[in-house]
Amino acid sequence: MRSNDHRISRATVYRALQWMVDAGIARKVDFGEGRFRFEHSYRHPRHFHLICKTCNHSYEFLSSDIENLIEEIAGARAFDADKSVVQIYGTCDACRTGRRHPEEEVPTDLLLARDALRIAIATERSGLEFYGRAARLTQDARGRRVFKRLAAEESEHLAKLEARYQEVLAQDPDLESRPAFLFFKGAADGLFAAGAEVLAKGVDDRQALMIGIRCERGSHRFFKRYGERFEDSEGKRIFLEFADEEREHLELLIREYKSLVRRQSAKPVRRRAASRPRGAHV
């Protein structure tokens, strides 16, 4: 600003920053330095900070585990939480090892898109394994066709997600090696991984469908819940698109489960004819 107009004062800058905060396109943060910092919030999800006390550099991250814990504690105390701040102080890798800080930081929305795609790809791979295994063990022909159909859809969508991931990586040559922004501990191996392990132990057709329903319902809730929390971004679109797909799969599995129950209930039951005394007339 000084290079363009020397008449702009510091007070004018701070009034403009406060206007941005009031408008919701910036947020004020306090890192315990005796002064406030401002960071943009437009298309920028709520997040937490790692703060180096040596160089005062801050690193952003988002964790579902921390958010869940905050919600659990607030709920236990019947506390209506509208804002949470988590700041972790310590020494960054650059200061500890003597390495240089990256000269250019990648935009958070690009990191968000990368990590959202990683989680979606892991979930799709675990879903492909689950439905492939379910198709092999299911005895009911109709149920087997449903599982094969879902496995084919998972495979097709997985290929699209992997292509989309490569497009995101092309925007920054170092993007794949940059630290994670999203931390979702329960989704690291895919949201269907636990279900696939249960199938491996052996279940009947109804149980296989019920496990699939639980996995799809959990996946739908996960992606919808966190997708709605993000500001408008590629990561948000990835999560909400995936939530819609999981909802469609959930509805299909529920219909198939109800159909299987009806078909099994309608099967005729063979009964032994009642014995009659010898010589009795009908």
Strand locations in the chain (E): 26-30, 36-40, 48-52, 58-63, 87-90, 182-183
Write out the residue range of the structural domain in which residue 93 sits.
10-97
Q: For residue 131, name the pLDDT band (cuts at 50, 70, 90).
A: very high
The residue with greater pLDDT, 103 or 128, is 128
One domain for residues 79 and 165: no
The residue with greater pLDDT, 15 or 268, is 15
One domain for residues 114 and 25: no
pLDDT of residue 169: 94
Q: What is the mean pLDDT of residues 188-206?
A: 85
Q: How many domains does the chain have?
A: 2
Sign of CA dihedral 175, 180, 183, 186: positive
Residue 167 lies in a domain: yes
Residue 235 lies in a domain: yes
Instruction: Report the alpha-carbon distance of residue 176 to residue 35 in Å, rounded.
Output: 34
Residue 43 has pLDDT above 80, yes or no: no
Residue 168 lies in a domain: yes
Q: For residue 247, name the pLDDT band (cuts at 50, 70, 90).
A: very high
Q: Which residue has the tokens 């084919």?
A: 152
Q: For residue 282, name the pLDDT band (cuts at 50, 70, 90).
A: very low
One domain for residues 120 and 242: yes
| Cβ-count burial 50-79 (b if 16+ within 10 Å, e if not) | bbbeeeeebbbbbbbeebeeeeeeeeeeee
Residue 68 has pLDDT above 90, yes or no: no
One domain for residues 117 and 80: no
Q: For residue 21, name the pLDDT band (cuts at 50, 70, 90).
A: confident
pLDDT of residue 53: 83
Mean per-residue pLDDT of the chain: 83
Residue 234 has pLDDT above 60, yes or no: yes
Residue 272 lies in a domain: no
Q: What is the DSSP code string of 62-120?
A: EEHHHHHHHHHHHHHTT--------EEEE--HHHHH-PPPPSSPPPHHHHHHHHHHHHH
Residue 6 has pLDDT above 80, yes or no: no
Instruction: Evaluate if pTM is beyond 0.75.
Output: no
Residue 163 lies in a domain: yes
Phi, psi for residue 183 in degrees, rounded to 5: -120, 105
Strand partners, 48: 61
The strand order across the sheet containing 58-63 reads: 87-90, 48-52, 58-63, 182-183
Q: Which residues contact 30 (CB under 8 A, 6 or more apart)?
A: 36, 37
pLDDT of residue 42: 61
Chain centre distance of CA 144: 28
Helix (H) or strand (E) holding 23, with range, is helix 10-23
Tell me which of 97, 132, 159 is where a domain ends: 97
One domain for residues 116 and 199: yes
Instruction: Report the alpha-carbon distance of residue 216 to residue 13 in Å, rounded.
Output: 50
One domain for residues 46 and 168: no
Instruction: Report the alpha-carbon distance of residue 139 to residue 280 in Å, rounded.
Output: 45
pLDDT of residue 129: 93
**Which CATH number is 36's domain given?**
3.30.1490.190
Q: For residue 210, name the pLDDT band (cuts at 50, 70, 90).
A: very high
State pLDDT tens for residues 45-62.
567 888 888 887 778 777
Apex 244 CA angle, 240 and 246, nearest 5: 115
Q: How many CB atoms lie within 10 A of CB 190?
A: 24
Q: Which residue has the tokens 């005796």?
A: 34
Chain centre distance of CA 55: 33
Instruction: Name the nearest CA neighbour of 254 among 211, 224, 221, 204.
Output: 211
Residue 281 lies in a domain: no
Residue 200 lies in a domain: yes
The residue with greater pLDDT, 228 or 159, is 159
Q: What percent of the chain has pLDDT over 90?
A: 34
Residue 30 has pLDDT above 90, yes or no: no
One domain for residues 84 and 162: no
**Which CATH number is 117's domain given?**
1.20.1260.10
Q: Which residue has the tokens 């529920």?
A: 254
**Cα-only R_g, the chain:** 27
pLDDT of residue 77: 86
One domain for residues 78 and 163: no
